C-alpha cells in the first residue's frame, strides 16, 4: 500500500454514482458526482487548491503571508486546511448565519474568523473582506468570486473527469455560488459536445441557502 505525500493529492477524481432511482421520470438516467469525497469534504477543495497554487506560482502569495477570504463555509474550510498544511496564516470572514460546525472546522485548522451580520448573507462578508483587503494590501486576497483560478480548476479537472466517466452526458446541472463550477465544467463540456445543456440552480431572491446565492441578490 502506498502513502501519499499530503492530502492535496486526494483532491479531484471523485466517483460518480447512478442515482436514477431519485428521478420521478423512469426514462431519465441521473448520475451524481460525489464531491464530498474530496479530502476536506466538498467541491470547494478544488478551487482552494487551485487559487493557492496559482497565487504561489504568480508570486502573489509568499511564505508567511496572510490569506484573506470571505466564505459561507466550504471554501473557507478548504482554504484553512491547505493554508495550515503550507504554513500560511488565514483570516476567513463569514456571516453569523453559518453553522457552528463550520466555524468549529475553521478553528480546528487554525483560521482567524471574523463574523459579519447574518441578515447581510454572503454579500456582507464579501464587502467587509474588500474593505480589509484595501486596509491590508500586504495580505493575499484570493477573492473566489473574481479569481480565474476558480473556474479554471473545474475546466481542467471536474469537466474532464465527467466527460471521461460519462461521455453520454446530455445535461449538466449545478448550483450557483461563485458560478465557478458551472462556468468551468460547462465550458469544457460544451467544447466536447455543443449539444450538452448547462443548467444553473439558484435559490429564490432573498433566500439564504449555505453555499448558494441568487445572482440578482
Catalytic residues: 44
SS3 33: strand
- Quote the DSSP letter at residue 17: E
C-alpha torsion sign, points 210, 212, 213, 214? negative
C-alpha cell at 79: 482554504
Query: Treating both helix axes as pointing N-terminal to C-terminal, what angle do 74-86 and 44-58 enclose, rounded to 10 degrees?
Result: 50
Rounded CA-CA distance 131/202 in Å is: 27
Q: Coil, strand or helix: which one is 213?
A: coil
Half-sphere exposure of 96 (CA within 13 A, CB side): 5
The residue written with cell numbers 462578508 in the block is 125
Amino acid at each position: 500500500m502506498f502513502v501519499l505525500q499530503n492530502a492535496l493529492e486526494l483532491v479531484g477524481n471523485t466517483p460518480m454514482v447512478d442515482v436514477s432511482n431519485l428521478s420521478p421520470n423512469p426514462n431519465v438516467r441521473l448520475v451524481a458526482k460525489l464531491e464530498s469525497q474530496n479530502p476536506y469534504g466538498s467541491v470547494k477543495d478544488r478551487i482552494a487548491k487551485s487559487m493557492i497554487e496559482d497565487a504561489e506560482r504568480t508570486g502573489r502569495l509568499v511564505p508567511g503571508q496572510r490569506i484573506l477570504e470571505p466564505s459561507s463555509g466550504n471554501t473557507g474550510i478548504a482554504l484553512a486546511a491547505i493554508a495550515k498544511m503550507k504554513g500560511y496564516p488565514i483570516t476567513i470572514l463569514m456571516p453569523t448565519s453559518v453553522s457552528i460546525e463550520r466555524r468549529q472546522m475553521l478553528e480546528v485548522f487554525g483560521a482567524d474568523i471574523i463574523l459579519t451580520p447574518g441578515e447581510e448573507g454572503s454579500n456582507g462578508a464579501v464587502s467587509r473582506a474588500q474593505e480589509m483587503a484595501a486596509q491590508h494590501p500586504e495580505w493575499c486576497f484570493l477573492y473566489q468570486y473574481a479569481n480565474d483560478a476558480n473556474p479554471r480548476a473545474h475546466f481542467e479537472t471536474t469537466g474532464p473527469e465527467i466527460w471521461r466517466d460519462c461521455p453520454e452526458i446530455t445535461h449538466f446541472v449545478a448550483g450557483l455560488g461563485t458560478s465557478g463550477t458551472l462556468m468551468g465544467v460547462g465550458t469544457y463540456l460544451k467544447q466536447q459536445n455543443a449539444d450538452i445543456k448547462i443548467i444553473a440552480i439558484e435559490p429564490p431572491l432573498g433566500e439564504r441557502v449555505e453555499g448558494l446565492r441568487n445572482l440578482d441578490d
